[in-house]
Structure 1
């Protein structure tokens, strides 16, 4: 505990950010400071401790052995401070302060949007900001302290890795349907299987996105890959191109807008294409009044099926 009084907390935070993000520039972006300001924090830390914590390696920097030990120590201190601020220093009856949420886009519409509406109508003092990110990025931001709560998904074919210091709670299951033009031969089917889809032209989310990987996995056992003609991150674009009869799409129900008249939804079976939707936060924030309040709203909205999904029977 002696070091706690000798070492500036801001300097420890800067060192931990450099370790997590790999460079002074990346750490400065996350912390919202200039690279020179972060460098000054490191110099202050070296003056306070009496030893070097960084060493230059090419154009970048590496933590020294003592720097790595100090960064690990700093992470523990910062975690304890966060837990202190979110519990003993917070009024459990009055959620307040600023909460950063990171969520994949369909959950922004289907779950987080209704939460923001509830908060606005209730007059709570809790200030919330939202960033749309793919679940892997969302998990990383929450794990690194860049966000407080993440809404994520986990496809049955593409598991999502959650670090041990995060708490994960599943909220609901979200099923994805095949969307086709009403004139398409599959439009009148009660359901389709992967073998029925191998010759279709697809629109997909970009390479590396979890939904793209889920689409690729549908065909893995058939020894084929989907014929993807268009890559776009926005499912609204997927609907628009299906309406033009240009492609077919696999679109989850959560947050899905009402389908155009000429677009038909067909269930996919053997296997059903489903993803689990959940929320993550750091375990140190478990007792935070803001986290508890927003988590409760997410549970309630998810239990009611989220926002209207626009899913239609074929």
Structure 2
């Protein structure tokens, strides 16, 4: 059986639709469908069946995904051992990371690694956590930085291992002249009559903030859905909006903006994820070690 088709079946099992699997693998839905049909011919048995607008795996499909997971872990282990036997840490290492953590720790990590391993090329691809994890699962990334606002980190992710990197406290962002700006802490409820600006590049973070407000009994009124934190900060600084942002966004002072702790405290856990079979891969190991050192040096905790 073709390994690429097994990877597609595995992704289809996770995503539930041809369109979602195609998006994760950068393939069209029709290409996904054709590859699954060919895999069914190779297997001699039906692997999927339609269920509403989605697709579910048959018992044979579920069994084959289980075998595919094991095969892929073994192949990753083989790749790791070959890299160890070369006795040189070199080549490309693809890292998926979301902006707030990437901007703080990735440049320092790359700089430190270049000095020791000049032939190791770390390639950063800025992605939100869910996209980074999908890239990791589809071999488009070797390491992904993820958080527990987007992904349930307590549950086991088949074939994926992770290392805790940091915890990040969330803050309310207020215009500097706002009546609440000098308080030591405020509750989300204190902002229920305000206009809000949110960074819409991460739907998971936006959903978390919206649900945080809803749990306290109000629907936040948005006056800005922004394609990046820079615009959120500009709206708050100008006195147009309030917002909530991760502490990692506040390592540099933002003129005209006051960051106030939330009460009760809200925080997220950030982890580094990699494929379990590549635990001993030399490039993955040195990157993880240096990333953890960079986070410790910069006081990211």
**TM-score if structure 1 supplies the norm length?**
0.77
CA shift, 1:145, in A, is 3.5
Correspondence for 2:218? 224
Correspondence for 2:111? 117
Is 1:195 the counterpart of 2:206 in the alignment? no
What is the root-mean-square deviation in Å for CA atoms of aligned residues? Answer: 3.6
Aligned ranges 1:101-140 → 2 under 5 Å: 101-140=95-134
Residues 10, 41 of structure 1: 8 Å contact kept? no
Structure 1 residues 42 and 174: CA distance shift in structure 2, 3 A: same
Q: Distance in 2 between matches of 1:83 and 1:209?
A: 34
Superposed CA deviations along residues 177-209 of structure 1, whole A, max 9, x for unmatched, are 222222211222222223322222111133972
Is 1:84 the counterpart of 2:62 in the alignment? no
Q: Distance in 2 between matches of 1:25 and 1:231?
A: 26
Is 1:305 the counterpart of 2:279 in the alignment? no
Structure 1 residues 44 and 267: CA distance shift in structure 2, 3 A: closer
Superposed CA deviations along residues 50-99 of structure 1, whole A, max 9, x for unmatched, are x2556796999886665554443233212211111113543485332322
Aligned ranges 1:256-275 → 2 under 5 Å: 256=250, 258-268=252-262, 270-275=263-268
Q: Helix, strand or coil: the match of 2:84?
A: coil
Q: Helix, strand or coil: the match of 1:212?
A: helix
Q: Distance in 2 between matches of 1:183 and 1:223?
A: 26
Residues 83, 282 of structure 2: 8 Å contact kept? no
Unaligned residue ranges in structure 2 (runs of 5+): none
Q: Distance in 2 between matches of 1:59 and 1:267?
A: 43
Superposed CA deviations along residues 144-175 of structure 1, whole A, max 9, x for unmatched, are 443221111225x9954651432222212212
Structure 1 residues 219 and 172: CA distance shift in structure 2, 3 A: same
Structure number with bigger Rg:
1
Aligned ranges 1:2-151 → 2 under 5 Å: 7-10=1-4, 12-13=6-7, 15-17=9-11, 19-20=13-14, 39=34, 43=38, 46=41, 51=44, 66=60, 68-91=62-85, 94-151=88-145
Structure 1 residues 90 and 22: CA distance shift in structure 2, 3 A: farther
CA shift, 1:290, in A, is 1.4
Superposed CA deviations along residues 96-126 of structure 1, whole A, max 9, x for unmatched, are 2322222111112112232223233444322
Superposed CA deviations along residues 125-157 of structure 1, whole A, max 9, x for unmatched, are 2222222222233333324443221111225x9
- Number of aligned positions between the proteins: 297
Tell which deviates more after alignment, 161-170 or 28-37: 28-37
Structure 1 residues 11 and 306: CA distance shift in structure 2, 3 A: same
Q: Distance in 1 between matches of 2:12 and 2:172?
A: 44
Out of 262, 280, 285, the residue aligned to residue 287 of structure 1 is 280
Residues 54, 61 of structure 1: 8 Å contact kept? no
Structure 1 residues 15 and 273: CA distance shift in structure 2, 3 A: closer
Tell which deviates more after alignment, 194-203 or 139-148: 139-148
Out of 209, 212, 225, the residue aligned to residue 215 of structure 1 is 209
Structure 1 residues 160 and 214: CA distance shift in structure 2, 3 A: farther
Q: Distance in 1 between matches of 2:187 and 2:17?
A: 47
Structure 1 residues 201 and 30: CA distance shift in structure 2, 3 A: closer
